[in-house]
Amino acid sequence: MTEKLLLKALQGKRTARTPFWFMRQAGRYLPEYRELRAKKGGFLDMVYDPAAACEITLQPIRRFGMDGAILFSDILVIPQALGQKLEFVAGEGPKLGKLDIDALDVSAIHETLNPVYESVRQIRSGLKNEGFDHTALIGFAGAPWTVACYMVEGQGSKDFGRAKAFACAQPDQFQKLLDILCTATADYLSRQVEAGAEVLQIFESWAGQADNQGFYDWIIAPTKKIVATLKARHPDIPIIGFPKGAGSLLPVYAAETGVDGVGLDSLTSPAWVKGQVPGKTLQGNLDPFALLAGGKALEKRARAILQAMHGTPFIFNLGHGIDKETPIAHVEALVKILRNKES
Amino acid sequence: MTEKLLLKALQGKRTARTPFWFMRQAGRYLPEYRELRAKKGGFLDMVYDPAAACEITLQPIRRFGMDGAILFSDILVIPQALGQKLEFVAGEGPKLGKLDIDALDVSAIHETLNPVYESVRQIRSGLKNEGFDHTALIGFAGAPWTVACYMVEGQGSKDFGRAKAFACAQPDQFQKLLDILCTATADYLSRQVEAGAEVLQIFESWAGQADNQGFYDWIIAPTKKIVATLKARHPDIPIIGFPKGAGSLLPVYAAETGVDGVGLDSLTSPAWVKGQVPGKTLQGNLDPFALLAGGKALEKRARAILQAMHGTPFIFNLGHGIDKETPIAHVEALVKILRNKES
């Protein structure tokens, strides 16, 4: 059986080569993605179309052979499955309907989410059929705080201030929302595992928007709960937590939540974090805009990360999703560096 | 002579009461500000009208008697003074004209900025004339990286990715821009001191958008240069650096730049940072959205910060500017807590 480096690194083992994948690797920087999208229509239509989602997930693997293939989906399918209206407006991002916490129905989510589980099954078969035996399939969900931010605000925001004010002013209602999201998210990720996901990543994209007290109440506590539920059900499936912007709170997040791996944003110092999260596998953290720029800055940064992480279980990734204007040639140059470098 | 607690705290001394001021304390949450603005017209018109800027700066002091009065101005007056077009579009924020780095003229900035220095003079007199002998006058500027982000993007951005890509792709041009901003900013702050500013704050609002390498090249190096220039000219004027989102890099920022005080965003753990920045005065870090929410969450958080900072030179502030919808009663409740609490 082919060894999957991503899984090995997440078991805390040294690997002969640093495994790599890139957040948002299946996306608009790829001409084949743009072509499919032009045919298929809306973003959510593709998310709920298993054949399309499978095809999109495999596209970057065919080009670059990453060690991880991440399910093509979106963190906001959970609010939609719970009964909150969701649409993606071109050029404006997600728009959610009015939030009624008491009306959210956690028992009915799989009716909406079944096509996603079907996508996972098809991707797993697709990877096998196309000979990508070294590529692990990554399932994912948004963490409760990040998803709740969108649910309260109804859209993206530069600071999610209304969500934060709501969490402060109505702590019981907000806790109820977080509890619902914990249950839904654990069930959703569990089903992804049953459908074939080999690794899970929990995206806490707005970790940096919480305040210090909120980081414990809104981020660490719910994530810990989800991880515990998943570990009870699927003890062998590794979980990566990615608390973007967590800064100096990364060590407490790593220690308290029980995740196996920690995703790092681009600001985080690899050298610093290495000594701060004993027993965890690290993942990150090239700035996607250094990848967009390419050239010497890209090479210098990629090599500095590899060098700093030498000797620790590590997965190379970006610190945030690939920018849609990133030239393919820059991704190729990065992959070349990664393939020629021993860990 | 009345003792100014803010200055005492910045000298590293314990104070009988924790001094306080709030970022964006002169602003839209105040009815008297909204009234003046309705009469005066545009935001920049008020910035360059010394009588209006003085009146606006004093408004919150008359209500709440803060220990610091911060000049009413904007970090983007520097690009404007350098020759880049600037306007504030209602509801959309700043819009800057096309950036031509070679055309920026650092020698001519004071022609544009003289009204700001006149504002500083009038505020200093106004504080004295109105009997606010305990209130220190704070001058400020944006740090080069943060100002450059706006100059390159031409407006606000959620990630300043284009600015970052430019900095990576054209490091020499970007360094030239940073150098110009260092000179202009040091001269600008120097003139503010000569006009009566007693403390300076350097806002690095987008510290969290740099990557790890960039944090050293774009944030620490230019800030260090500005601080060194100012310390040579005005050795007794304390300087507060506020690298919002710096996270785990706060200690290296504090140690390397030479600032006297460090502003903390709301995510930063007071207990953690206390042990990490020896010899520095700390400032922060109540979440402005906890202030917007008011009630128990506000009180709990404010008291937790005061308690955690006990025994260290400290200035109470927010972790970001006051939100414009903040009820006056919440600010009053916070001020009451601060006045009754010993440091």
Domain boundaries, chain B: 5-339
Mutate to test the interface with B, among A152, A162, A168 (most CBs of B within 10 A): A168
Helix, strand, or coil (residue B220): helix
Distance of CA B94 to the CA centre of its chain: 17
Here the tokens at position B45 are 């018109």
A213/B300 Cβ within 8 A: yes
Q: What is the ipTM of this complex?
A: 0.95
Q: Check CB contact of A327 with chain B, cutoff 8 Å.
A: no
Q: How far apart are the first and last CA of chain A?
A: 22
Q: 10 Å Cβ neighbour count for A194? A: 13
- Across chain B, the runs of DSSP E, i.e. the strands, are 68-70, 86-89, 93-96, 136-142, 199-204, 239-243, 261-263, 281-286, 314-318
> Dihedral of the CA atoms B160, B162, B163, B165 (nearest 10)?
120
Q: What is the mean pLDDT of residues B218-226?
A: 98
What pLDDT does residue B343 have? 41
Q: What is the mean pLDDT of residues A150-163?
A: 94
pLDDT single digits (tens) A200-257: 999 999 999 999 999 999 999 999 999 999 999 999 999 999 999 999 999 999 999 9
- The answer to whether the CB of B230 falls within 8 A of the CB of B189 is yes
Q: pLDDT confidence of B97, banded at 50, 70, 90? A: very high
Q: pLDDT band at residue A1, thresholds of 50, 70 and 90?
A: low
Backbone angles phi, psi at A100, to 5 degrees: -125, 100
Residue B27 has pLDDT above 60, yes or no: yes
Answer yes or no: do A268 and B289 touch at CB < 8 A: no
pLDDT in the model for residue A151: 98
Q: Is the pLDDT of residue B129 over 50?
A: yes
CATH architecture of A5-339: Alpha-Beta Barrel (3.20)
Least Cα distance to B305 among B278, B332, B276, B265 occurs for B265
pLDDT band at residue B231, thresholds of 50, 70 and 90?
very high
Distance of CA B110 to the CA centre of its chain: 20
Which backbone phi and psi does B243 adopt, to 5 degrees?
-90, 85
Q: Do A297 and B158 touch (CB under 8 A)?
A: no
Q: Which chain A residues contact residue B318 at CB under 8 A?
A: none
Q: Which of B274, B289, B303, B307 best probes binding to A when mutated, by most A CB atoms within 10 angstroms?
A: B289
Mean pLDDT, chain A, integer: 96
Q: Considering only CB atoms, which chain B residues are within 8 Å of A276?
A: 248
- B158 to chain A: which residues are within 8 Å by CB? 156, 158
Write down the pLDDT at residue B90. Answer: 81
**Across chain A, how many H-helices and E-strands are there?**
16, 9
Residue B1 banded pLDDT, cuts 50, 70, 90: low
pLDDT tens digits for B247-268? 999 999 999 999 999 999 999 9
Please tell me the predicted confidence (pLDDT) of residue B91.
81
Contact A297 B159 (CB under 8 A): no
Look at the block and give the residue holding tokens 């690298």. B243
What percent of chain A is predicted at pLDDT more than 90?
Answer: 95
Tell me the pLDDT band of B342, cut-offs 50, 70 and 90.
Answer: very low
Query: Distance between CA B189 and CA A127 in Å, rounded?
Result: 60
**Quick check: B341 pLDDT over 60?**
no
Q: Which residue has the tokens 């785990």?
A: B248
Per residue in A64-79, pLDDT (tens digit) is 999 999 999 999 999 9
By DSSP bridging, strand A86-89 and strand A93-96 are antiparallel
* Cβ contact, residue pair A245, B208, below 8 Å: yes
pTM: 0.96
If we measure between CA atoms, which residue out of A194, A204, A225 comes closest to residue A141?
A204
DSSP 3-state of A304: helix
d(CA B331, CA B337): 10
Chain B: nearest CA to A342, how far in angstroms?
22
Q: Is residue A315 within 8 Å of residue A8, measured between CB atoms?
A: no
Per-residue pLDDT at A122 exceeds 60:
yes
The pLDDT, as a whole number, for residue B2 is 62
Q: List the catalytic residue out of B17, B28, B124, B233.
A: B28
d(CA B127, CA B133): 7
B66-89 pLDDT, tens digit per residue, is: 999 999 999 999 999 999 999 998
Judged against a pLDDT cut of 90, whether residue A343 lies above it is answered with no
CA A133 vs CA A21, A61, B216: distances in Å: 15, 11, 41
pLDDT range class, residue A294, cuts 50, 70, 90: very high
B247–A270 CB contact, under 8 Å: no
Locate all alpha helices (DSSP H) within chain A, ordered by sequence. 5-10, 31-40, 43-47, 50-64, 77-82, 109-129, 144-153, 161-169, 171-195, 212-214, 221-233, 250-257, 270-274, 288-293, 295-309, 328-339
In a mutational test of the B interface, the residue from A159, A289, A299 whose CB has the highest number of chain B CBs within 10 Å is: A289
**Catalytic position from the list B29, B33, B37, B187:** B37
- Cβ distance B211 to A293 less than 8 Å, yes or no, reads no
Closest chain A CA to residue B210? A267
